[in-house]
Structure 1
């Protein structure tokens, strides 16, 4: 895509000379414009943000005041350039804060969030800008002024967002919207900060290391280090990750210790902030505010207000997708629990591990919620062992042991290289954006299999720390844009236990899948080709953004030769636990939809007792299981309450799974077709590495060009149809989940 020369367009930087005391105000001299966080102090952020806001406001006022015909060059281009400084500051802070949120930075974040909320309202509700954008709508629609399809889409998206925010409403209503938005931002920030505090406060402390029998030496060393960092002179501390099922539960053989960790996990949502509110209460108030805002915008509830920016058509289509998955997951979970009981994995453990001071519950063989992760992992090992001696039932390549970090990265990068023709090279000369993070440069792969043209940077922060947000995610310091001239600089963050000094970190099979998933997001950003930052890479509708990352998970199977089995039912060993994981996920989706499909009056009633409302929502769907709670509870559902991104949108993961499962089957079909249509020699047989590489490269190049590179520059569902030659169907997902 060509870069357009626009010498007369404001670029969104300040008109005065940048202050040398604040490095954020000047363009970075590092490769790809990487922000050097080592040069930035906490007091730099707010002045830089204010400068970015001022620069954009100056540019927008100029756009609104120009008395010339509305064209791409006079409206869209200057608007797309107006936020260069603001985006650089906002993105850098977001990347830094997510991985290292010190108490000082939490104070900074509160102020930044409020300033940004006010500025976004100013921008989307600016009457002059809205008038200029509206004036361009008709000429573009009638081809009276030249524009590319992407420019058409950029105008459509900008106007849709403005109208959804209340542009065009009367001044009094807009003032009320601004007040609600500011109150929402304050509440979301309060939820996020209290949720972080609870994760630390409820971390499970074990004075005796023997209580953590079953954990690896690496995991024990990390737990000891966490205890020392928290101020304990001895013992071990298990920090809490976001999901209700804490990963150490899979290995902990002491039942009483498992009980303590599980109860610490579900106790989140009980501590209060300075105003005496729990996270559940703050979350309920957020739901009330969102319901009020939706009504002011003319919608029945919050879900309806965000659907115009999603690919799902309506609530009915979401529930039609969800119902068969929910019913099937519950049935499969019950069958899995029965298998777990019959396997007897708890019998010997309960008898041998029981001590005289253990509670009665720890000496019974009846299943309890804290036994689920441990029991499922034990049965998985049994099944993997059985399948390894049964050629008719091959073990999943991902169900083996832990993988050293460098080998895990080799596999992830090699899969991307084989698919998309790229090369990833580590860079030791760049400043780290977080303690222990690593930097990589991504290149096109030349014909000689060596690095070619540079694409961007990939930054990786693997290890958990108290100041780091829970879970795993992708974020960006910058995104690909021919308009602004920026290149992609993306991060992946995970939360695995850091290795002990001198030891080598390793990823569990689950963490390996997470690494492949998050690198799928990274590829979506790295391989983007767009004119506007607002349409680049992962800037797709929320219920589409998880699709490329979920597709990338299947390429973990490249190392087990499993991609050529198009359309076959997965082996039982590969289906084990699908009922559990799907049930947990669906239950969390139901909670999200319940909170965000309420009228104002219903939301206010639910806020009287948030936990009772949450419980009733699960009962209504038949998902109130005594042994398996939702993946996230209302008191620790960061996705939907610590920000608005996934609010009324946690279904997006399952929605994207439908797309990903269908696309995964397409990849398998490409391998099968290539094997079937090739010459009848030894190199063309199914599973041949040479033929597989050729088939994968052909399929990957097509998907890279027609889907990953496109981002939101056209309708993502259209990109899907062009890439895979069909509309997605549910069958592949139901088969994958064993439903």
Structure 2
């Protein structure tokens, strides 16, 4: 991590301007127009949102009334400027709510979501605006006015969204669509809030710390602190993260304790809300509403309604990819589980304490679902050890693999610096947007290797807390836009265990990979160059957005012995666990597509028995493994039910893996040119080679965002269309 002194640069600071009573109503007073988040109170959100919607309505009505010849200046530009206040409020609340969802903010979220749903329908279905957008398209077609390629793309995107929302349909159908959209917003919010409540309610409590044998001191201290925060006078509490496989399972040596934690994880989807609904039932209700909406828009099912805004050609191409990966993953998983039996990890991990009458089943040699994470981690340690060790003693063996936070950040920032010519400097003077969060400024690096022009801010929130969403993500307070004059201010949020007082946190290899992944998203936002916010950075089709972040993961290898030779199959030890991770991922994708490729009648039938429908969908694909459930079940699949972003789109991660694997192959090919062999002796690639490759990709792909077809940017960046072979090789399939 850079510790360079921050240079004196002009970054849009307006500190001389006194804050208004509601700090959200004016441009922020901090660098890059960031609002001083310490000044925001919960009562500020709704008035600011209403002011933002009112400002946009006024601007849109003016566009619709304008009878002058349609042009970019009279239609697109005022439309792109109309949401400046609304966008600032929406983005700020989204960032703040995701990392610290207090009960007060949850109440605000319900009201915000309903008002925004109605406003979006008003905007996308506005007949006067649709008329002006259509007039601009006609004027461009007839050569009566001009526009840049990005402006033309913005126009087509806006028209597509309007038509996809029902613009042009009769008024009665539009009213029905508005009603469905409002109901969808309500049930998606209900799903998110019940899922969040259930994760807390099902957290596994252990009165006796000895039950958690195998966890490190830092993890135990965090679990004890979580228990105190939850009101327990003693013992430890293990909160649940989103995926079904909970992280502590890898180290917990007592099978009875592992069983309790695993069963708590899969029990999600059983609690009810005030209306008596489980998340399974709410998710099914969401699927029904989406199917009805798709039919009104003239589509067979929800997937067909969203494919026009994706890069995948059709369902057949998605299914073909899935079938190839699923079949290979199933075979590899069976081989891996056989290796668990042969390794005898359960015999090595047996405890007399597990041989009580209640836990007799846990002391048998028969593998159970709660043994899988432990077994895979144990075999990993067993294989990496130079001598025969006890695979049931994970702490000492795994601690050497963990990376202290400061070293982890140094590696992530150094890779980005060498690739893209940037410098990251910590800012201690900015108010934190969440408890324990950190702030960094990103600069262009000059030829003298010193920070030069400021690019934007990177805000980092590493540690788990009860009020925080599970998983890891990137979000933005603002995005790069020459039209609005905004600069990127992006956040990364993870959920690693906070360190004990006086100690430094460390990242596991998995968490380290997640950090590289999420910073890949951050770079996509930070390095964006766009006229319109709606096309900037990560505003690409859903099945393309994960691609740059997955590419960034490969640069973790720069700090672990160099990159593999181009075209070479990874070593078998590096493929260990790929069957498990790929299998559970594909199973979750199948669940998503199963719910979102239903007709209205099929969705209504499935809603009568959501659990049975989910099970049948997995059986149909041969993904109903008794030991390995899907990464997310219907009752805790936040990606697809707590909002529409990944609905019928969770395949995007695999689709992006195809692109990322092929792009990684290209990087290896470039790096191999430095010595003709891919970098022998584990040498790190030269800065010159990395900088040349990174500069090209930054200019032609990361900076472009959605200002042109992302697949065209891919072809220009890497000189070819992506193929699946590289991914299949990486997965050992």
Closer, same or farther: CA 211–463 of 1 in aligned 2, 3 Å:
same
Corresponding residue for 2:81?
81
Does the CA-based 8 Å contact 2:419-2:691 persist in structure 1?
yes
Does the CA-based 8 Å contact 1:564-1:671 persist in structure 2?
no
**CA drift at 1:146:** 1.6
Q: Distance in 2 between matches of 1:375 and 1:694?
A: 43
Runs (4 or more) in structure 1 with deviation over 6 Å come to: none
**CA drift at 1:498:** 0.6
Q: Within 5 Å, which residues of 2 pair with 1:415-454?
A: 415-454=415-454
Corresponding residue for 1:159?
159
Partner SS, residue 475 of structure 1: strand
Partner SS, residue 686 of structure 2: helix
Residue 236 of structure 2 is aligned to residue 236 of structure 1: yes
Does the CA-based 8 Å contact 2:212-2:252 persist in structure 1?
yes
Closer, same or farther: CA 387–723 of 1 in aligned 2, 3 Å:
farther
Does the CA-based 8 Å contact 2:254-2:351 persist in structure 1?
no
**CA drift at 1:448:** 1.3
Corresponding residue for 1:707?
701
Closer, same or farther: CA 410–358 of 1 in aligned 2, 3 Å:
farther
Q: Within 5 Å, which residues of 2 pair with 1:53-202?
A: 53-202=53-202
Residue 535 of structure 2 is aligned to residue 535 of structure 1: yes
Which shifted more, 346-355 or 262-271?
A: 346-355
Unaligned runs of 5+ in 2: 1-16, 390-397
Corresponding residue for 2:13?
none
Does the CA-based 8 Å contact 1:253-1:353 persist in structure 2?
no
Residue 546 of structure 2 is aligned to residue 546 of structure 1: yes
Which shifted more, 266-275 or 345-354?
A: 345-354
**CA drift at 1:352:** 4.7
Does the CA-based 8 Å contact 1:173-1:296 persist in structure 2?
yes
**CA drift at 1:387:** 11
Q: Distance in 2 between matches of 1:655 and 1:95?
A: 27
Q: Distance in 1 between matches of 2:728 and 2:386?
A: 25
Q: Distance in 2 between matches of 1:631 and 1:618?
A: 12
Q: Distance in 1 between matches of 2:18 and 2:164?
A: 35
Residue 570 of structure 2 is aligned to residue 570 of structure 1: yes
**CA drift at 1:420:** 0.5
What CA deviation, in whole Å up to 9, does each residue of 1:51-97 have, x standing for no partner?
A: 00000000000000011011000000000000000000000000000
**CA drift at 1:693:** 1.5
Closer, same or farther: CA 18–408 of 1 in aligned 2, 3 Å:
closer
Q: Distance in 1 between matches of 2:206 and 2:264?
A: 12
Corresponding residue for 1:716?
710
Partner SS, residue 695 of structure 1: helix
Q: Distance in 2 between matches of 1:515 and 1:721?
A: 27
Q: Distance in 2 between matches of 1:383 and 1:686?
A: 22
**CA drift at 1:694:** 1.0
Residue 638 of structure 2 is aligned to residue 638 of structure 1: yes
Partner SS, residue 658 of structure 1: helix
Does the CA-based 8 Å contact 2:491-2:522 persist in structure 1?
yes
Which shifted more, 556-565 or 666-675?
A: 556-565
Residue 660 of structure 2 is aligned to residue 697 of structure 1: no
Corresponding residue for 2:726?
732
Q: Distance in 2 between matches of 1:671 and 1:374?
A: 37
What CA deviation, in whole Å up to 9, does each residue of 1:556-589 have, x standing for no partner?
A: 0001233251111001111000000000000000
Does the CA-based 8 Å contact 2:562-2:683 persist in structure 1?
no
Q: Within 5 Å, which residues of 2 pair with 1:153-302?
A: 153-302=153-302
Q: Distance in 2 between matches of 1:265 and 1:428?
A: 38
Structure 2-normalised TM-score?
A: 0.95
Q: Distance in 2 between matches of 1:510 and 1:275?
A: 39
Does the CA-based 8 Å contact 1:419-1:701 persist in structure 2?
yes
Q: Distance in 2 between matches of 1:666 and 1:270?
A: 47
Closer, same or farther: CA 387–412 of 1 in aligned 2, 3 Å:
farther
What CA deviation, in whole Å up to 9, does each residue of 1:136-189 have, x standing for no partner?
A: 112223443121100010000000000000000010000000000000000000
Closer, same or farther: CA 295–212 of 1 in aligned 2, 3 Å:
same
Q: Distance in 2 between matches of 1:347 and 1:19?
A: 65
Closer, same or farther: CA 582–89 of 1 in aligned 2, 3 Å:
same
What CA deviation, in whole Å up to 9, does each residue of 1:315-369 have, x standing for no partner?
A: 1010011101000001000000000110001112125553435511111011000
Unaligned runs of 5+ in 1: 1-16, 390-397, 679-683
Does the CA-based 8 Å contact 1:18-1:25 persist in structure 2?
no
Does the CA-based 8 Å contact 2:418-2:691 persist in structure 1?
yes
Closer, same or farther: CA 429–730 of 1 in aligned 2, 3 Å:
same
